[in-house]
Amino acid sequence: MNEDKIVRLKASIRDVPDFPKKGIIFKDITTLLKDADLFAQSIDQLHDLIKNRSFDIVAAIESRGFIFGSALAYKLNKSFVPVRKPGKLPAKILREEYSLEYGTDSVEIHADAIEHGARVLLVDDLLATGGTARASCHLIERSGAKVEAILFLIELGFLKGRELINEYDILSLICYN
């Protein structure tokens, strides 16, 4: 992996203080996405991390995970499965709830989206606390599939989200420690 390219990608990500609430520094990827060359480079670099791995399906977590997951699915000629927020899917669903700091949330997939025995690459833009990724992995496994790896554009290492999903193979392109 070309470290100069990673440094360039990292430099393009804007910090937005106090969003979505006070004390949070939001990593804004829209500044990366608006540059066609950097966006292409991010997809190419993510592809390089997983190109020698064997899997059947790319699943991605709503909503920014869709940006990277769908582009990778296209580049790899793999099918794409969206992992959605509640109430967004029209057919029979599987749902997995997970805990938040204050309350719960859930993710959903169509019950027929992933065939039993499939091998799945899960993609999201950011690994923070790991709760959404963990719930998404459990959802995929409940469909009878295996999570081959989880791929992130960004990992906030200081939040230790990796610890919540350490039974999976975790790949991150950019890490903030």
> Can you give the length of the chain in residues?
177
Nearest to 9 by CA among 129, 152, 134: 152
Q: Is-catalytic flag, 101? A: yes
Out of 64, 84, 134, 162, pick the active-site residue: 64
HSE (side-chain half, CA atoms, 13 Å) at 8: 14
Out of 3, 101, 163, 167, pick the active-site residue: 101
CB count within 10 Å of CB 54 equals 9
Using alpha carbons, list the distances in angstroms from residue 147 to 37, 125, 141, 162: 30, 17, 7, 15
Catalytic residues: 64, 101
